[in-house]
Structure 1
Amino acid sequence: MRPTLTHLALHVPDLEACVAFYKRYCGMHIIHEREGKGSRIVWMAEPGKEHRFIFVIMPGGQERHLASDDYSHFGFAVESAEEVDRIAREAETAGCLIWAPREDVYPVGYYCGLRDPAGNYVEFSYGQPLGPGSETMPIPRSM
């Protein structure tokens, strides 16, 4: 059997703020929580993906300080360009928008970027050949 990516584990400086962020912007929910090594550990997933991929969020991390042109990020696909715009407006009001909505060449598509409370960047995109509905899109080939 080949390895399968199942989770991403993050140490964060403010556990509650990060859990709230991923609930609010990413639609994730808590699927498991426990006390581990003296602190609360939270597992979060997208609805329907609880057995495929989760975020494990743990307290005790240092805030990340990424440059605005650092494109290290977690990527979430959304159903429309309008949804990208809605998320960006909400994030701008909350003070966590880092990349205003923009269109880029295929396969990047239309996207915006937010900064989570730990300093990680989170992209919301439409039109990439990834995520729900992308099965009919061509896979990008190297040039």
Structure 2
Amino acid sequence: MRNDIGLTHVALAAKNIDSSIDFYRRYANMHIMHERIDKEIDKRVVWLSDKTRPFVLVLVQSQNPTPILGPFAHLGVGCKDKAEVDQLCMQAKQEGILAKDATDSGYPVGYWAFIHDPDGHVLEVSYGQEIGLTVQNTEI
């Protein structure tokens, strides 16, 4: 058995996991990697990933989740271009879940917006942040 090292996941409570799975599929291109009923807590648990890196979003069923990611705390997802950010903002606006419209903050922050998931957690969609490249090119 291999052990994971480093940051591997973020776990969030979700009242309706199916709604959250649908949200993260549509807004972050994430899909189920693992699913189970946790016998210790008798709750449904799913792991979602976009498979761009070894990292998952863990959703745990909860009757009354407290949105811990907001108003500024958030998950961040990089998009392929500004048009994708704009399209996701338009979709979120139509669904009434757009928290902050797209803003161009220049380098290194880029073009970004905030969207609420079904439980009120905040997802940032962005273009131009170059976080992966910065990490890859930084020596410790």
TM-score using structure 2 length: 0.83
Q: Please name the residue that 2:35 is paired with.
A: 33
Structure 2 unmatched ranges of 5 or more: none
Distance 1:48 1:112 in 2: 21
1:87-126 alignment to 2 at 5 Å?
A: 87-126=88-127
1:79 Cα deviation after fit: 1.2
Q: 1:30-109 counterparts in 2 under 5 A?
A: 30-36=32-38, 37-49=41-53, 52-60=54-62, 61-64=64-67, 70-109=71-110
Residue 47 of structure 1 and its aligned partner are, at CA, apart by 2.8
* Identity, % of aligned positions: 33
1:93-132 Cα shifts (integer Å, max 9, x gaps)? 111111111111321111111000111110011111214x
User: Once the two structures are superposed, what CA deviation does each residue of 1:23-81 show, in whole Å capped at 9, x if it has no partner?
Assistant: 111110001101113221111111353xx1001111115242877xx321100011111
In structure 1, what is the Cα distance between the partners aligned to 2:94 and 2:17? Answer: 22
- Runs (4+) of structure 1 exceeding 6 A deviation are none
Give, in whole Å, the separation in 2 of the partners of 1:42 and 1:53: 13
- The TM-score with structure 1 as length reference comes to 0.81
- Runs of at least 5 residues in structure 1 that lack an aligned partner in the other structure: none
Secondary structure of 1:9's match?
strand
Q: For residue 104 of structure 1, what is the amino acid of its counterpart?
A: S
Aligned length, in residue pairs: 132
Counterpart-to-counterpart distance in 1, 2:68 and 2:37: 28
